[in-house]
């Protein structure tokens, strides 16, 4: 039996709650229905980033080994590091 979801006073309070709690404790995912949002596209912003040629070459080499575009690999590396810094440091 899932736990009741608490009432939240703000979106920030709800975000903090879900960042530190497992939804499986509060929802019966076996009752979930798949939903498709065909026109939903993630918003992105183009930036300019200066890297040394050697670092860029190393990134391209790694990307080639993983068979992905180097810019995609950079995004994966950034996501992993951001998650590590923001979320793994919260675990006691």
Is the same domain home to 53 and 81? yes
pLDDT higher than threshold 90 for residue 86? no
Q: What is the CATH number of the domain that holds 72?
A: 1.10.1220
Domains in the chain: how many in total? Answer: 2
The 10s digit of each residue's pLDDT in 2-32 is 899 999 999 999 999 999 999 999 998 888 8
Crossing angle of helices 53-66 and 70-86, rounded to 10°:
100
Task: Name the percent of the chain lying above pLDDT 90.
Answer: 70
Contact between 12 and 1 under an 8 Å Cβ cutoff? The reply is no
Angstrom CA distances, 73 to 1, 8, 13, 63, 67, stand at 41, 37, 32, 6, 10
pTM above 0.85, yes or no: no
Is the same domain home to 55 and 91? yes
In a domain, 65, yes or no: yes
- Helix then strand then coil, % of the chain, to nearest 5: 55, 0, 45
Distance (Å, whole) CA 73 – CA 84: 16
In a domain, 36, yes or no: no
In a domain, 42, yes or no: no
């Amino acid at each position: 039996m899932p736990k009741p979801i608490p009432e939240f006073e703000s979106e920030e309070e709800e975000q903090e709650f879900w960042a530190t709690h497992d939804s499986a404790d509060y929802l019966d995912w076996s009752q979930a229905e798949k939903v498709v949002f065909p026109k939903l596209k993630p918003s992105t912003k183009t930036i300019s980033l200066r890297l040394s040629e050697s670092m860029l070459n190393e990134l391209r080499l790694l990307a080639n080994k993983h068979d992905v575009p180097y810019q995609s690999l950079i995004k994966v590396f950034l996501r992993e590091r951001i998650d590590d810094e923001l979320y793994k440091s919260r675990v006691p």
